[in-house]
């Protein structure tokens, strides 16, 4: 009996140790205390470290891992800066705590990489005028402090191109889209996907299911099953964890279009193409701008968006790029996608008018090429999308 007790004690002790280890894994490296905090007049300069805050784990094979990869590339490009990282930081006041820690460790540049960090980033920017905060996603309105910027990519552009592959591949003319919440970014993607498919296959319809969760594999599986049972033969998604739906499509012999990461190894037969993140060049460009003391008033001061279209002072590649093609994509399809990409990167847009909503009303006039700022508040689904925006 006593040995049994002792074993239980040992077990509990191990558990406790492991838990303590888990609790203290974030904000890992503590650099030598910053005596180099010489206040310089340009925000973001004079630091010894760059901080990154992630909302999820760095190895989620999705959004957060992509940001962490960008951070690693940044570290290689700027070996003088120490990269400080904190993962699984919830969208709460913990953002400010973690950022404060990083600032005390010498960070003058901090990347807040989740949509819901914006308000905390704004608070921090007010409190620390000498530190630059870079908010991934979101837009800022009104007076923007000169030490905060937001940036993102025109994510719907590669999604539109993938829609072309889907429109070409379908034989039932039914495409399936598993989405999480009806936020503008998601609606943009669904609409771009359908418009891409329509551009090559006017009969293609996109059946949409919202799961109200960024990663609930149980719900994803149900959504995929429901769509497949309706005759959908191409599945795509806007979810944080993507392998459940990818595998469900492959098991059912359907095609699949990826999002966030290249998951072609999960669907060797059905993989068409997809969109994946490549943040490195954009991160490097931002830090270069800050180092050159050109940040204040520069292009990253709020609402910066990179797309396929490039202008002279907007020469960074879009952070969301097209994934490699799967084996079933024909050369004809690839040619059409290349042509569409060329058009988007010069004069066109996935949302070039006329665009109609589900009720057949014109939402973008014929001949109009909308700017991102006009699209960012998208609150409708286009004609050809089957499904309803859940109202709150």
Partner 1 sequence: MIVAASTAAGSNLLVVAVLIAGVTAGTSILFAALGETISERAGIINVGTEGCMLCGALGAYAAASATGNPWFGVLAGALAGGLLALVHAYMVLNRGANQLASGLALFFMGLGLTSLFGAPYVSKQVDTFSKVAIPGLSKIPAIGDIFFNQDPLTYLSFVTAPAVWFLLFRTRWGLMLRGAGERGEVLRAYGHSTVKVRYAAVVSGGMLAGIGGAQLALVVALAWFENMVQGRGFIAVALVIFAAWDPIKAMGGAWLFGAALALGPELQVRNAGVNQFLLDALPYVITLVVLIVLARKRLESAPEALADVFEGSRVVSSP
- Taking the complex as a whole, the smallest distance from the CB of residue 386 to partner 1 amounts, in Å, to 5
- Taking the complex as a whole, the smallest distance from the CB of residue 167 to partner 1 amounts, in Å, to 19
Nearer to partner 1, 22 or 93 (CB): 22
Nearer to partner 1, 311 or 392 (CB): 392
In terms of phi and psi (left: phi > 0; alpha: psi -120 to 50; beta: otherwise), the region of 5 is: alpha
- Taking the complex as a whole, the smallest distance from the CB of residue 208 to partner 1 amounts, in Å, to 7
CA distances from 358 to 159, 191, 363, 370 (A): 20, 11, 10, 19
Nearer to partner 1, 154 or 244 (CB): 244
CB neighbours (10 Å) of residue 75? Answer: 16
Nearer to partner 1, 195 or 261 (CB): 261
Binding residues vs partner 1 (CB under 8 A) = 5, 8, 11-12, 15, 18-19, 21-22, 56-57, 59-61, 88, 176, 207-213, 215-223, 225-230, 232, 241, 243-244, 247-248, 251-252, 265-266, 386-388, 390-392
- Taking the complex as a whole, the smallest distance from the CB of residue 342 to partner 1 amounts, in Å, to 33
- Taking the complex as a whole, the smallest distance from the CB of residue 99 to partner 1 amounts, in Å, to 23
- Taking the complex as a whole, the smallest distance from the CB of residue 120 to partner 1 amounts, in Å, to 23
CA distances from 380 to 35, 177, 389 (A): 53, 15, 8
Terminal-to-terminal C-alpha distance of the chain: 58
Nearer to partner 1, 225 or 342 (CB): 225
Peptide bond into 354 cis (omega under 30): yes
Nearer to partner 1, 125 or 266 (CB): 266
CB neighbours (10 Å) of residue 195? Answer: 26
User: 23 exposed, middle or buried (CB, 10 Å; 0-12, 13-18, 19+)?
Assistant: exposed
Query: In terms of residues, how long is the chain?
Result: 392
């Amino acid at each position: 009996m006593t040995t049994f007790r002792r074993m239980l004690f040992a077990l509990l002790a191990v558990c406790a140790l492991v838990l303590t280890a888990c609790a203290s894994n974030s904000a890992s490296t503590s650099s030598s205390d910053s005596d180099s905090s010489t206040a310089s007049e340009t925000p973001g300069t004079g630091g010894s470290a760059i901080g990154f805050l992630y909302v999820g784990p760095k190895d989620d094979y999705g959004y957060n891992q992509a940001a962490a990869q960008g951070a690693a590339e940044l570290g290689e490009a700027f070996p003088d800066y120490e990269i400080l990282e904190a993962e699984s930081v919830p969208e709460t006041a913990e953002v400010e705590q973690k950022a404060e820690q990083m600032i005390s460790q010498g960070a003058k540049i901090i990347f807040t990489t989740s949509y819901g960090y914006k308000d905390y980033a704004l608070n921090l920017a007010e409190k620390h005028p000498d530190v630059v905060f870079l908010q991934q996603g979101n837009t800022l309105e009104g007076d923007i402090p000169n030490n905060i910027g937001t940036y993102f990519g025109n994510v719907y552009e590669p999604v539109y191109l993938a829609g072309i592959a889907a429109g070409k591949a379908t034989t039932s003319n039914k495409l399936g889209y598993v989405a999480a919440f009806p936020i503008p970014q998601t609606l943009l993607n669904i609409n771009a996907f359908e418009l891409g498919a329509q551009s090559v296959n006017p009969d293609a319809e996109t059946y949409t299911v919202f799961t109200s969760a960024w990663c609930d594999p149980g719900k994803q599986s149900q959504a995929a099953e429901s769509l497949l049972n309706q005759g959908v033969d191409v599945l795509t998604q806007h979810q944080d964890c993507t392998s459940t739906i990818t595998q469900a499509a492959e098991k059912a012999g359907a095609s699949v279009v990826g999002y966030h990461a290249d998951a072609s190894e999960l669907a060797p037969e059905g993989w068409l193409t997809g969109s994946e993140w490549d943040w490195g060049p954009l991160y490097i460009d931002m830090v270069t701008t800050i180092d050159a003391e050109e940040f204040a008033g520069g292009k990253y001061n709020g609402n910066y968006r990179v797309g396929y279209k490039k202008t002279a002072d907007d020469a960074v590649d879009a952070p969301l790029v097209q994934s490699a093609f799967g084996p079933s994509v024909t050369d004809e399809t690839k040619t059409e996608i290349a042509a569409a990409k060329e058009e988007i990167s010069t004069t066109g847009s996935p949302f070039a008018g006329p665009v109609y909503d589900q009720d057949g009303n014109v939402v973008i006039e014929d001949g109009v090429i909308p700017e991102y700022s006009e699209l960012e508040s998208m609150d409708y689904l286009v004609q050809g999308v089957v499904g309803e925006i859940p109202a709150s």
